[in-house]
């Protein structure tokens, strides 16, 4: 399904997802509570203010959430008759039905603005609803995490093998770490230059942020270490390892990857 505008009116009920959109919308609007008695934490049905048997429509303006007892007590009576004994509550229900969803409206505007901007780039862009993602996740039986939700986006179709057949056991985590400081001096606490920094950021072939492997020949830190280095002008570079920072001579360091402003790490399992 690909739509260029927000679902509105009766489409909530008759769209490709049936009542899924309508329920999500109504839950937001009525705060997961019965519109007639305010009960929460109970099963809620979609109720027609003006019953369908009396010509009531499936439009959002005619739908509320109601608990089972209220839903049954109301039966096929219009809400004006059902709540005739409680004019205050009736007025409140009718008012809330008309009230626009401010947050949802702002979200919609942003969303369609983003879609328009992306479409303008000339690449194919498609979009689906969050409730479809949720349904895909439920059908597939996956837990709710950000990475798995990204997998669940879109129209899954068993017939065309457009399904989730496996879930990654390992994730590549990319983090923007920057390329160091561009400042040429280090200020004191009054803001005056205290130290002048070297014109070149490179020392003995290394730049801060490079991924390197260090071989420490002896001492407490003897062994092989892999990590990002922070260069020192005298060549005794600082290497960050999982066990802590160590100082290693540039002679004992081998470059693995030039720092490109990002750090890359692999993480096992499904992350949030």
Which residues bind to Zn ion, rule: CB under 5 A?
Answer: 34, 36-37, 39, 67, 70
Q: Which two tokens stand for residue 2?
A: 């690909």
Q: Give least dist CB 169 to Zn ion, A.
A: 46
Helix count and strand count (H, E) for the chain: 8, 11
Identity of the residue, 30 or 225, whose beta carbon is nearer to Zn ion in the bound complex = 30
Residue 65 or 248: the one with the smaller Cβ distance to Zn ion is: 65
Answer whether 195's CB lies under 8 Å from 243's CB.
no
Would you call 255 exposed, middle or buried from its count of C-beta atoms within 10 A (0-12, 13-18, 19+)? middle
Instruction: In whole angstroms, give the CA distance from residue 48 to residue 78.
Output: 8
Distance, CA of 172 to CA of 267 (rounded, Å)? 6
Minimum distance, C-beta of residue 116 to Zn ion, in the bound complex (Å): 41
Rounded least distance, CB 21 to Zn ion, Å: 23
Q: How far is the CB of 163 from Zn ion (least distance, A)?
A: 40
C-alpha torsion 57→60→61→66, nearest 10: 90
User: Taking the complex as a whole, how short is the minimal distance between the CB of residue 70 and Zn ion, in angstroms?
Assistant: 3
Q: How many CB atoms lie under 10 A from the CB of residue 208?
A: 19
Residue 73 or residue 139: which is nearer to Zn ion going by CB? 73
Decide whether 67 or 229 has the Cβ nearer to Zn ion.
Answer: 67
Q: Which is nearer to Zn ion, 73 or 105 (CB)?
A: 73
Helix (H, G, I), strand (E, B) or coil at 99: coil
Report whether 262 contacts 177 (CB < 8 A). Answer: yes
């Amino acid at each position: 399904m690909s739509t260029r505008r927000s679902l509105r009116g009766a489409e909530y009920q008759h769209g490709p997802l049936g009542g899924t959109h309508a329920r999500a919308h109504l839950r937001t609007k009525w705060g997961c509570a019965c519109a007639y008695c305010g009960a929460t934490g109970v099963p809620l049905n979609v109720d027609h203010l003006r019953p369908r048997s009396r010509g009531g429509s499936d439009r959002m303006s005619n739908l509320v959430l109601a608990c089972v007892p209220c839903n049954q007590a109301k039966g096929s009576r219009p809400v004006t008759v059902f709540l005739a004994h409680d004019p205050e509550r009736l007025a409140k229900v009718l008012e809330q039905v008309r009230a626009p969803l401010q947050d949802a409206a702002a979200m919609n505007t942003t969303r369609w603005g983003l879609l328009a901007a992306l479409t303008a780039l000339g690449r194919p862009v498609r979009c689906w609803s969050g409730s479809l993602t949720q349904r895909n996740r439920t059908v597939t039986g996956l837990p709710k995490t950000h990475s798995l939700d990204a997998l669940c986006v879109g129209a899954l179709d068993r017939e065309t093998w457009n399904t989730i057949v496996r879930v990654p056991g390992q994730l590549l985590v990319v983090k923007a770490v920057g390329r160091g400081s561009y400042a040429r001096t280090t200020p004191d606490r009054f803001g005056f230059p205290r130290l002048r920094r070297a014109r070149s950021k490179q020392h003995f072939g290394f730049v801060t942020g490079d991924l390197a492997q260090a071989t420490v020949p002896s001492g407490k830190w003897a062994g092989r270490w892999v990590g990002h280095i922070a260069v020192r002008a005298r060549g005794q570079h600082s290497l960050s390892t999982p066990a802590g920072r160590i100082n290693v001579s540039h002679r004992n360091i081998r470059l693995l990857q030039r720092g490109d402003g990002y750090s890359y790490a692999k993480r096992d399992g499904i992350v949030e």
